[in-house]
Protein backbone atom coordinates (compact mmCIF):
# COMPACT_ATOMS: atom_id res chain seq x y z
CA UNK A 1 0.00 0.00 0.00
CA UNK A 2 1.48 3.30 -1.04
CA UNK A 3 -0.63 5.65 1.07
CA UNK A 4 -2.25 3.87 4.05
CA UNK A 5 -4.81 6.05 5.84
CA UNK A 6 -4.31 4.62 9.31
CA UNK A 7 -0.54 5.14 9.36
CA UNK A 8 -1.03 8.64 7.98
CA UNK A 9 -3.48 9.38 10.81
CA UNK A 10 -0.86 8.36 13.35
CA UNK A 11 1.74 10.63 11.76
CA UNK A 12 -0.67 13.57 11.69
CA UNK A 13 -1.44 13.02 15.35
CA UNK A 14 2.24 13.67 16.13
CA UNK A 15 2.15 17.23 14.72
CA UNK A 16 2.60 19.68 17.59
CA UNK A 17 1.37 22.88 15.94
CA UNK A 18 -2.46 22.91 16.08
CA UNK A 19 -2.81 25.22 13.09
CA UNK A 20 -0.53 23.05 10.96
CA UNK A 21 -2.36 19.91 12.09
CA UNK A 22 -5.78 21.41 11.33
CA UNK A 23 -4.72 22.71 7.93
CA UNK A 24 -3.23 19.36 6.93
CA UNK A 25 -6.20 17.31 8.16
CA UNK A 26 -8.68 19.71 6.59
CA UNK A 27 -7.44 18.87 3.10
CA UNK A 28 -7.23 15.08 3.43
CA UNK A 29 -9.14 13.40 0.61
CA UNK A 30 -10.73 10.02 1.33
CA UNK A 31 -9.98 8.68 -2.14
CA UNK A 32 -6.27 9.44 -1.74
CA UNK A 33 -5.75 6.60 0.73
CA UNK A 34 -5.76 2.85 0.95
CA UNK A 35 -7.26 1.37 4.10
CA UNK A 36 -5.74 -1.75 5.60
CA UNK A 37 -8.36 -2.57 8.21
CA UNK A 38 -6.31 -5.38 9.75
CA UNK A 39 -2.95 -3.62 9.98
CA UNK A 40 -1.76 -3.58 13.60
CA UNK A 41 0.17 -0.33 14.03
CA UNK A 42 2.64 0.00 16.87
CA UNK A 43 2.47 2.86 19.34
CA UNK A 44 5.02 5.67 19.13
CA UNK A 45 6.19 8.32 21.57
CA UNK A 46 4.76 11.82 21.39
CA UNK A 47 1.06 11.07 20.87
CA UNK A 48 -0.64 13.43 20.71
CA UNK A 49 1.63 16.19 19.50
CA UNK A 50 1.03 19.23 21.69
CA UNK A 51 2.11 22.87 21.55
CA UNK A 52 3.85 24.49 24.52
CA UNK A 53 0.71 26.55 25.07
CA UNK A 54 -1.98 26.40 26.29
CA UNK A 55 -0.86 25.37 29.75
CA UNK A 56 -2.86 22.29 30.77
CA UNK A 57 -4.21 22.42 34.32
CA UNK A 58 -6.83 20.65 36.43
CA UNK A 59 -10.35 21.94 35.66
CA UNK A 60 -10.60 23.35 39.19
CA UNK A 61 -7.73 25.74 38.38
CA UNK A 62 -9.52 27.36 35.45
CA UNK A 63 -10.75 30.86 36.26
CA UNK A 64 -14.35 31.80 35.64
CA UNK A 65 -14.53 35.04 33.66
CA UNK A 66 -17.70 36.98 32.93
CA UNK A 67 -18.51 36.73 29.23
CA UNK A 68 -19.38 40.44 29.19
CA UNK A 69 -15.70 41.38 29.44
CA UNK A 70 -13.29 41.09 26.48
CA UNK A 71 -11.19 38.56 28.40
CA UNK A 72 -14.27 36.60 29.42
CA UNK A 73 -15.58 36.28 25.89
CA UNK A 74 -12.12 35.37 24.61
CA UNK A 75 -11.74 32.79 27.38
CA UNK A 76 -15.02 31.15 26.36
CA UNK A 77 -14.06 31.03 22.69
CA UNK A 78 -10.61 29.76 23.68
CA UNK A 79 -12.18 26.89 25.63
CA UNK A 80 -14.22 25.93 22.57
CA UNK A 81 -11.13 26.16 20.37
CA UNK A 82 -9.30 23.82 22.73
CA UNK A 83 -12.15 21.32 22.57
CA UNK A 84 -11.94 21.29 18.78
CA UNK A 85 -8.15 20.84 18.87
CA UNK A 86 -8.66 17.79 21.08
CA UNK A 87 -11.45 16.56 18.82
CA UNK A 88 -9.07 16.43 15.86
CA UNK A 89 -6.70 14.29 17.94
CA UNK A 90 -9.50 11.99 19.07
CA UNK A 91 -10.70 11.33 15.52
CA UNK A 92 -7.16 10.65 14.26
CA UNK A 93 -6.48 8.39 17.22
CA UNK A 94 -9.51 6.18 16.67
CA UNK A 95 -8.49 5.74 13.01
CA UNK A 96 -4.98 4.44 13.64
CA UNK A 97 -5.36 2.77 17.01
CA UNK A 98 -8.21 0.31 16.42
CA UNK A 99 -7.90 -2.32 13.70
CA UNK A 100 -10.39 -4.85 12.40
CA UNK A 101 -13.33 -2.58 11.66
CA UNK A 102 -15.06 -2.15 8.27
CA UNK A 103 -13.60 0.40 5.83
CA UNK A 104 -16.63 2.63 6.38
CA UNK A 105 -15.60 3.04 10.03
CA UNK A 106 -12.29 4.63 9.10
CA UNK A 107 -13.82 6.83 6.41
CA UNK A 108 -16.46 8.04 8.87
CA UNK A 109 -13.81 9.12 11.36
CA UNK A 110 -11.77 10.74 8.61
CA UNK A 111 -14.81 12.88 7.87
CA UNK A 112 -15.07 13.71 11.57
CA UNK A 113 -11.39 14.71 11.71
CA UNK A 114 -11.78 17.01 8.71
CA UNK A 115 -14.84 18.72 10.15
CA UNK A 116 -13.22 19.13 13.57
CA UNK A 117 -10.27 20.75 11.78
CA UNK A 118 -12.66 23.22 10.15
CA UNK A 119 -14.22 23.99 13.53
CA UNK A 120 -10.78 24.67 15.00
CA UNK A 121 -9.92 26.99 12.13
CA UNK A 122 -13.19 28.92 12.48
CA UNK A 123 -12.83 29.36 16.23
CA UNK A 124 -9.12 30.14 16.28
CA UNK A 125 -9.65 32.66 13.48
CA UNK A 126 -12.49 34.28 15.43
CA UNK A 127 -10.30 34.38 18.53
CA UNK A 128 -7.61 36.16 16.51
CA UNK A 129 -10.17 38.66 15.22
CA UNK A 130 -10.94 39.83 18.77
CA UNK A 131 -7.27 40.24 19.69
CA UNK A 132 -6.40 36.90 21.26
CA UNK A 133 -4.81 33.62 20.20
CA UNK A 134 -5.11 29.95 21.00
CA UNK A 135 -2.74 29.35 23.90
CA UNK A 136 -3.45 32.64 25.67
CA UNK A 137 -5.48 30.93 28.41
CA UNK A 138 -4.97 27.71 30.39
CA UNK A 139 -7.03 24.65 29.44
CA UNK A 140 -7.71 21.15 30.76
CA UNK A 141 -7.02 17.72 29.34
CA UNK A 142 -10.27 15.89 30.13
CA UNK A 143 -11.10 14.75 26.61
CA UNK A 144 -7.72 13.17 25.98
CA UNK A 145 -7.64 11.61 29.44
CA UNK A 146 -10.73 9.60 28.50
CA UNK A 147 -9.01 8.54 25.28
CA UNK A 148 -6.10 7.24 27.36
CA UNK A 149 -8.44 5.34 29.69
CA UNK A 150 -10.15 3.60 26.77
CA UNK A 151 -7.10 2.78 24.64
CA UNK A 152 -7.66 -0.95 25.01
CA UNK A 153 -11.41 -1.02 24.40
CA UNK A 154 -13.05 0.38 21.27
CA UNK A 155 -16.54 -0.22 22.67
CA UNK A 156 -15.69 1.92 25.69
CA UNK A 157 -14.10 4.59 23.50
CA UNK A 158 -17.26 4.89 21.41
CA UNK A 159 -19.51 4.85 24.45
CA UNK A 160 -17.63 7.44 26.45
CA UNK A 161 -16.12 9.87 23.95
CA UNK A 162 -18.62 10.59 21.15
CA UNK A 163 -21.70 9.32 23.03
CA UNK A 164 -20.82 11.00 26.35
CA UNK A 165 -18.26 13.80 26.22
CA UNK A 166 -19.09 15.03 22.72
CA UNK A 167 -22.82 14.60 23.28
CA UNK A 168 -22.47 16.98 26.23
CA UNK A 169 -21.47 19.56 23.64
CA UNK A 170 -24.87 19.15 22.01
CA UNK A 171 -26.48 19.98 25.35
CA UNK A 172 -24.24 22.97 26.06
CA UNK A 173 -24.43 24.57 22.61
CA UNK A 174 -27.71 26.55 22.98
CA UNK A 175 -26.67 28.18 26.25
CA UNK A 176 -23.22 29.11 24.92
CA UNK A 177 -24.74 30.53 21.75
CA UNK A 178 -27.12 32.65 23.83
CA UNK A 179 -24.21 33.98 25.89
CA UNK A 180 -22.40 35.08 22.74
CA UNK A 181 -25.54 36.71 21.33
CA UNK A 182 -26.06 38.52 24.64
CA UNK A 183 -22.71 40.29 24.20
CA UNK A 184 -23.27 41.01 20.50
CA UNK A 185 -21.03 38.27 19.14
CA UNK A 186 -23.14 37.21 16.17
CA UNK A 187 -20.17 35.76 14.32
CA UNK A 188 -19.34 33.49 17.23
CA UNK A 189 -22.98 32.39 17.44
CA UNK A 190 -22.98 31.56 13.72
CA UNK A 191 -19.86 29.44 14.16
CA UNK A 192 -21.62 27.53 16.94
CA UNK A 193 -24.50 26.79 14.57
CA UNK A 194 -22.04 25.20 12.13
CA UNK A 195 -20.40 23.21 14.90
CA UNK A 196 -23.72 21.97 16.31
CA UNK A 197 -24.85 20.83 12.87
CA UNK A 198 -21.65 18.86 12.33
CA UNK A 199 -21.42 17.52 15.88
CA UNK A 200 -24.86 15.96 15.59
CA UNK A 201 -23.39 13.95 12.72
CA UNK A 202 -20.30 13.06 14.73
CA UNK A 203 -22.30 11.78 17.68
CA UNK A 204 -24.50 9.86 15.22
CA UNK A 205 -21.37 8.14 13.87
CA UNK A 206 -20.41 7.21 17.43
CA UNK A 207 -23.91 5.86 18.05
CA UNK A 208 -23.87 3.83 14.84
CA UNK A 209 -20.57 2.08 15.52
CA UNK A 210 -21.31 1.61 19.22
CA UNK A 211 -24.51 -0.22 18.33
CA UNK A 212 -22.68 -2.13 15.59
CA UNK A 213 -20.25 -3.53 18.17
CA UNK A 214 -23.01 -4.20 20.69
CA UNK A 215 -24.84 -6.23 18.06
CA UNK A 216 -21.70 -8.20 17.16
CA UNK A 217 -21.10 -8.97 20.84
CA UNK A 218 -24.79 -9.62 21.65
CA UNK A 219 -24.79 -6.83 24.24
CA UNK A 220 -27.65 -4.62 25.34
CA UNK A 221 -26.63 -1.02 24.48
CA UNK A 222 -28.22 0.61 27.53
CA UNK A 223 -26.98 -1.72 30.26
CA UNK A 224 -23.58 -1.96 28.57
CA UNK A 225 -23.29 1.83 28.53
CA UNK A 226 -24.06 2.01 32.25
CA UNK A 227 -21.44 -0.64 32.97
CA UNK A 228 -18.77 1.11 30.89
CA UNK A 229 -19.56 4.55 32.34
CA UNK A 230 -19.04 3.20 35.85
CA UNK A 231 -15.95 1.15 34.98
CA UNK A 232 -14.13 4.04 33.31
CA UNK A 233 -15.29 6.84 35.61
CA UNK A 234 -17.30 8.77 33.02
CA UNK A 235 -18.72 12.09 34.24
CA UNK A 236 -22.29 12.03 35.46
CA UNK A 237 -24.64 13.52 32.89
CA UNK A 238 -26.59 16.56 34.06
CA UNK A 239 -29.31 18.54 32.31
CA UNK A 240 -30.60 20.52 30.68
CA UNK A 241 -30.36 18.14 27.73
CA UNK A 242 -30.74 19.13 24.09
CA UNK A 243 -33.21 16.37 23.35
CA UNK A 244 -33.86 17.46 19.77
CA UNK A 245 -30.14 17.33 18.95
CA UNK A 246 -29.72 14.03 20.76
CA UNK A 247 -32.60 12.50 18.81
CA UNK A 248 -31.09 13.80 15.57
CA UNK A 249 -27.79 12.18 16.61
CA UNK A 250 -29.46 8.78 16.96
CA UNK A 251 -30.23 8.40 20.64
CA UNK A 252 -33.47 6.45 21.02
CA UNK A 253 -36.29 7.18 23.46
CA UNK A 254 -35.16 4.52 25.93
CA UNK A 255 -31.71 6.15 26.10
CA UNK A 256 -33.22 9.61 26.54
CA UNK A 257 -35.40 8.30 29.36
CA UNK A 258 -32.22 7.10 31.11
CA UNK A 259 -30.94 10.68 31.15
CA UNK A 260 -33.81 11.73 33.41
CA UNK A 261 -33.28 8.67 35.57
Cα(49)–Cα(59) distance, rounded to whole angstroms? Answer: 21
Residue 246 Cα distances to 10, 78, 166, 172, 255, angstroms: 30, 25, 11, 12, 10
Residue 29 Cα distances to 32, 85, 165, 189, angstroms: 5, 20, 27, 29
Q: Is the dihedral of CA 195, 197, 200, 201 positive or negative?
A: negative
CB atoms within 10 A of CB 73: 22
Instruction: Read off the pLDDT band of 103 (50, 70, 90).
Output: very high
- Peptide bond just before 127 cis, omega within 30 deg: no
Instruction: Read off the pLDDT band of 2 (50, 70, 90).
Output: low
pTM, two decimal places: 0.96
**Residue pLDDT, tens place only, 216-247:** 999 999 999 999 999 999 999 999 999 999 99
Give the pLDDT score at 1. Answer: 43
**Residue pLDDT, tens place only, 185-218:** 999 999 999 999 999 999 999 999 999 999 999 9
Q: Is the dihedral of CA 76, 79, 84, 90 positive or negative?
A: negative
Nearest to 91 by CA among 78, 77, 101, 106: 106
Nearest to 41 by CA among 95, 80, 3: 95
**Contact indicator for 110, 117 with CB cutoff of 8 Å:** no
Residue 4, SS3? strand
**Residue pLDDT, tens place only, 25-81:** 999 988 888 998 988 899 999 999 999 999 999 888 888 889 999 999 999 999 999
**Residue pLDDT, tens place only, 107-162:** 999 999 999 999 999 999 999 999 999 999 999 998 999 999 999 999 999 999 99
Burial of 260 (0-12, 13-18, 19+ CB in 10 A): exposed
Average of per-residue pLDDT across 6-28: 96
Averaged confidence pLDDT in the chain: 95
CB atoms within 10 A of CB 240: 9
17-30+58-260: CATH topology is: Ferritin (1.20.1260)
Amino acid sequence: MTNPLRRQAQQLLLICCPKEKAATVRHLAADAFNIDTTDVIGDVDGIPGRPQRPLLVHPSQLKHRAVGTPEGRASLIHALTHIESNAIDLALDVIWHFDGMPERFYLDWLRVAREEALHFQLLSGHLNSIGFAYGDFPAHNGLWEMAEKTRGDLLARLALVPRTLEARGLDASPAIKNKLISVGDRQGADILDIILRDEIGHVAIGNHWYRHLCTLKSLDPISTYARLAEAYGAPKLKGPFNLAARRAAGFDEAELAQLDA
